[in-house]
Structure 1
Amino acid sequence: MSDQEQADAADDAEEAESEEATEEETGGLQDGDFVRIAYTIRTVDDGQVIDTTDEETAEEAEIDTEEYEFEPRIIAIGAGHVFPSVEEALIGQSVGDTGTIEIPAAEAFGEFDEEEVKTVKADKIPEDDRYPGAQVQIDGEQGRLETIIGGRARVDFNHPLAGEDLEYEYEILEEVDDREEQAAGMLGMYLQEAPEVRIETVTEEEEVTVESDDEDGEPETETQEVENEVLYIEATPQMTMNQQWMFSKQQIAQDLMQRLDLDKVIVEEVIDGGGMGGLGGMMGGMGGGAGGADIEEALEEADVDADELVEELDEE
C-alpha cells in the first residue's frame, strides 16, 4: 500500500470514528423522527384536562367521548405538532420514556390581554346567545359573552385558555418508520381524523430541458419517463368540509411532501352509492324525471315527429 493510500485509509477510519462518536452523543430521537405518543394536557392552576389521548381520563374529566376518538397520536418531531418545550424534551429520548413538561402561558395560548375584552352593541349578538358564557362571533372574531346590559354587551375575545400555564404529561410508545402510517398520523394532527392513505411509485412521462449539442443552440425539451413517489389520500365527506383542510390544503400537502420525501400528493374523492336515478330530475328539469312522456312533450314543442326521427336514425 502506498503512502497516499495509507493516508486515505487513516482519514476514512478517523471520519468513521467521528461519525460514530457523534451518533453516540446525539443518541435517541432526533428532529424529523416520527413517534407515537400518549399524552394528557392539564391546566396547572386547577388540573383541568383540556386534551388527552386516554379515554378513561376523558371520561373522568367529563369530556364527550362519543364525539372524539381517544388514542395515541403520531407526531413528527420538529414539525410543530406539539409545543416547542415538548419537542425540545423529546430530543434524545427513547421509546418507553415518560415525562411531564410545564408550558408557560405565553408559549401555550398567550397571556391574558385586557384590551381584548371589549364592549359591543348587543344587537350584533343573536337573541338566543344573549346570556353570560355564550360563545359568540362578532365581526369575524370568536369571543365569550361576559355580561349584557341594555343595548351593550361585554365580550372577551381572548382564547379561553389565555393566561393559563399548562402541564403536558407524555409517554413515548414507539418510533414510527412506515411512511403511510406517518402520512396518516400527520393528517390526523391537522384534521383530527386520519383518512385512508397509500404511497405508490408511479412511472410518469415528464418534459425535461436538455442542453443542445450545438453550442449556439437553445436548450431543448424532451419527454422522459420518471419515477415519482405519490401519496394518495382518500377524501371523506368530513375531510372535504374540514375548515383546516379547505383553507390550508396546499400547505399541508407541501409539509407532507417535504417530510416524507414525496414527489406528489393526489386527493381521491370517493362517492358511494349506485344507480343513475338522481340524474333524472336534473335531465327532466323542474318537472321531475326525464321519462318517455317528458321526451315526447319536448319533441312536440320542437315540432319534431318522434316516429320520423327514429326512422332517420335507423337509416343512418
Structure 2
Amino acid sequence: MTDQNLRVGPGLQIVLAFSIALPSGQVLDQADETDPVTLELGDSQLHPNLEALLIGLEVGTQAKFSVPPEDGFGYPDPTNVYDIPRVEFADDMDLAPGLVIGFTTPTGDEIPGTVVAVDEEQDQVKVDFNHPLAGENFVFEVSILAIKGH
C-alpha cells in the first residue's frame, strides 16, 4: 500500500530514481525511473550518509545534493591500501591500474578493491580498498517515486 502523505523514514520502503555524478558531469551510478531502486533505510543498499539526505522527503520530491567527502564516503585511508602477492590472482587476469575487483573478506562480505599498481619485479599487486569516491566531491540527485508502509 502506497501512502502519498508519507515521508521517507525508518521502516518504510522507498522507491527512487537516482544518480551519483562527479562535478564534471560524469555519472558513476544511477537508476532511472524505468528501473528504479526499492530500498529500506538501513538495508545497506545505499550508503548511510546518502540515506540521511533522504529523510523527510515526500513522494514526488526531486532533490539535488552537492556532497563533500566528509558527508559522503569520507577521505582515503592509507592503511586501506595493501600489497597482495600476484599468485593470489588468477593467472589469466589482466591486472592493470584502475581495474576494480571484488574480494571476499574473512567474514564473507564482498568488497571492491581497485588495482593501483602492479610490481612485476616483486610479483606484488597494490590494491586500494578505500571506496572509489573517498575524497571526492560528488552530486547526488534523487527522485522519490513512491513510499510504502508495512
Whether the aligned pair in 1 keeps the contact of 2:63 and 2:143 (CA below 8 Å) is yes
Q: Which runs of 5+ in 2 are unaligned?
A: 106-110
Whether the aligned pair in 2 keeps the contact of 1:135 and 1:142 (CA below 8 Å) is yes
Whether the aligned pair in 1 keeps the contact of 2:81 and 2:130 (CA below 8 Å) is no
For the pair 1:33 / 2:15, whether they are aligned, the reply is no
Partner of 2:64: 100
Flag the 1:94–1:155 CA change in 2: closer, same or farther, 3 A.
same
**TM-score after normalising by structure 2:** 0.64
Return the alpha-carbon distance in structure 2 between the equivalents of residues 103 and 122 of structure 1.
36
Secondary structure at the residue paired with 1:47? coil
Flag the 1:110–1:129 CA change in 2: closer, same or farther, 3 A.
farther
Larger Rg: 1
Partner of 2:30: 52
Give the C-alpha shift of residue 106 in structure 1. 4.7
Question: What CA deviation, in whole Å up to 9, does each residue of 1:212-261 have, x standing for no partner?
Answer: xxxxxxxxxxxxxxxxxxxxxxxxxxxxxxxxxxxxxxxxxxxxxxxx4x
* Residue 54 (structure 2) aligned to one of 64, 69, 90: 90
What code does the residue aligned with 1:159 have?
Answer: N
* Residue 76 (structure 1) aligned to one of 29, 40, 44: 40
Question: What CA deviation, in whole Å up to 9, does each residue of 1:145-186 have, x standing for no partner?
Answer: 512232332412323513223321011122334xxxxxxxxx
Return the alpha-carbon distance in structure 2 between the equivalents of residues 119 and 109 of structure 1.
23
Secondary structure at the residue paired with 1:123? helix
Flag the 1:124–1:28 CA change in 2: closer, same or farther, 3 A.
closer
Whether the aligned pair in 2 keeps the contact of 1:147 and 1:155 (CA below 8 Å) is yes
**TM-score after normalising by structure 1:** 0.35
What code does the residue aligned with 2:86 have?
Answer: A
* Residue 21 (structure 2) aligned to one of 35, 42, 60: 42
Return the alpha-carbon distance in structure 1 between the equivalents of residues 71 and 144 of structure 2.
22
What code does the residue aligned with 2:129 have?
Answer: N
Partner of 1:157: 128
Q: Which has the higher contact order (CA 8 A, sep 6+)?
A: 2
Give the C-alpha shift of residue 112 in structure 1. 1.4
Whether the aligned pair in 1 keeps the contact of 2:95 and 2:118 (CA below 8 Å) is yes
Higher percent of residues as strand: 2
Higher percent of residues as helix: 1
Give the C-alpha shift of residue 107 in structure 1. 5.0
The CA RMSD measured in Å over matched residues stands at 3.4
Partner of 1:111: 75
Give the C-alpha shift of residue 136 in structure 1. 5.4
Return the alpha-carbon distance in structure 1 between the equivalents of residues 146 and 88 of structure 2.
50
Secondary structure at the residue paired with 1:115? helix
* Residue 148 (structure 1) aligned to one of 119, 122, 141: 119
Give the C-alpha shift of residue 138 in structure 1. 7.9
Aligned residue pairs, count: 137
